[in-house]
Chains A and B, each alone.
Chain A
Amino acid sequence: MNTQTFLNEIEEIIEVDKNSLNGTEVLKDLEDWDSLALMGFIAMVDTNMDVTLEAEKINACVTVNDLVVLVADYLDK
């Protein structure tokens, strides 16, 4: 999975248009980034990268790009 497909997966979880995220968005400003989206995000990362993220680490992220950094080791370069 590369960065763009990772962003596309997040777009699907929070139900926004494809390719609408550029990474600079502040998570708490995204309307549908809520506890349900968080579970969807953890499931997506577990499925695609075989990594179980701690909710605490996700909660520490401020922007979408912080999520990208969180899984950087598992993204295609």
Chain B
Amino acid sequence: MIKSTLNNVSISCICAAVPDNQRSVKDDWKGEEGDIQKVIKNTGVHSRYVTDINTCTSDLCFEAAQTIIKEKNIDPLEIDGLIFVTQTPDTFLPATSCALHGRLGLSKNCATFDVNLGCSGYVYGLWIASTFISSGSLKKVLVLSGDTITKLCDESDRSTWPLFGDAGSATLVEHDDNAEPLHFVIATDGNGADKLEVKNGAFRNPGTPNLFMSGSDIFTFTIREVPPMIKEVLKLSKCTKDDVDFFVFHQANAFILNYLSKKMKLDNDKVLVSLDRFGNTSSASIPLTVVANKEKFSTGKKAVFSGFGVGFSWGAVAFDSSKVEICSLQKVSR
């Protein structure tokens, strides 16, 4: 497990956006009524927001980024880093981040690239941005993360279709001489690559892309790796779980979140949830959960974010959350 403590970095603003199309899982289900009740009980997902064919992840992230730029009154030319974390880009090439760079009107003095990660992607994005800022290379970085996973789900697959939702997010990470250190732990196990995958549609296996998920393998991976990761990030930040006001986990599903909380003996009030309304939104799920619990999160001083899943890939960050500004949820219609 990589451990990384980074100074002079502040996570200063978080925003999230969803397509303006909230769908009830029950209403969308075409199979047996009894089946879907059982699925809802386990996933905890009652509704999620679903994009139309013309809306891409980049559109949702663009809206979230624009909101931060306007509300924080930022000169777009000051932004010197743009990281787009997604597994549902607009195109194979160019990197969708470059197209976003143009749409947002950013300066040529800006490092811009995509990161292909899902469930752990938000924490990775924060880590990459923070590493560049802490090294002195960059000052003001936008981390855009999100996915429109519903486009990859087969409507007859009860393990994916009722679980996933679409969302995008933007987070401003900035240089700050007075910031408390950010403590990250980061890890990977590529032996889990085939447990959650879209095998077809790229170059190894051309064809129609479709999401496959082995829920039981993901569950085993999660209960094996996440509790030690949380223990490690708390140790790195020299605090205990009692010192943490809020834990924001990737919103995998309710069964996993409840079991993790129980196994780690976390106070349920400290574990924020959004998947009942939004589903599992991949790399947007952590910032979306913060935005969905805006008032509550704003009362805290110390937070732990933790992402885990596709890859297998996982990471966590413990940080001072008292200065984070949170924008309202944006709804995108086209």
Contacts and interface: CB of A to CB of B under 8 A. Distances in A.
A and B co-occur in one complex: yes
Interface of A: 35-36, 38-40, 42-43, 46-47, 52-56, 58-59
A60 B216 CA distance: 13
Bin chain B's interface residue count.
Answer: 10 to 19
B220 A36 contact: no
B216 A52 contact: no
A35 B159 contact: yes
B223 A43 contact: yes
Q: Which of the listed residues A36, A40, A47 has the most CB atoms from chain B within 10 Å of its own CB?
A: A36
Contact of B223 (A36, A40, A46, A56): A46
Interface in B168-225: 214-217, 219-220, 223-224
Contacts of A53: 220
Given A38-B216, A42-B219, A52 B255 contact: no
A47 B259 CA distance: 9
Contacts of A58: 216
B42 interface: yes
B223 A42 contact: yes
A35 to B, nearest CB: 5
B39 A55 contact: no
**How would you classify the secondary structure of chain A's contact residues: helix, strand, loop or mixed?**
helix
B334 interface: no
A46 B263 contact: yes
A52 B220 contact: yes
Interface string B210-253: 00001111011001100000000000000000000000000000
A59 B220 CA distance: 13
B265 interface: no
A39 B224 contact: no
The residue in B42, B159, B216, B223 that gathers the most chain A C-beta atoms within 10 A of its C-beta is B216
Contacts of A46: 223, 263
B214 A55 contact: yes
Given A43-B259, A52-B224, A55-B214, A36 B219 contact: no
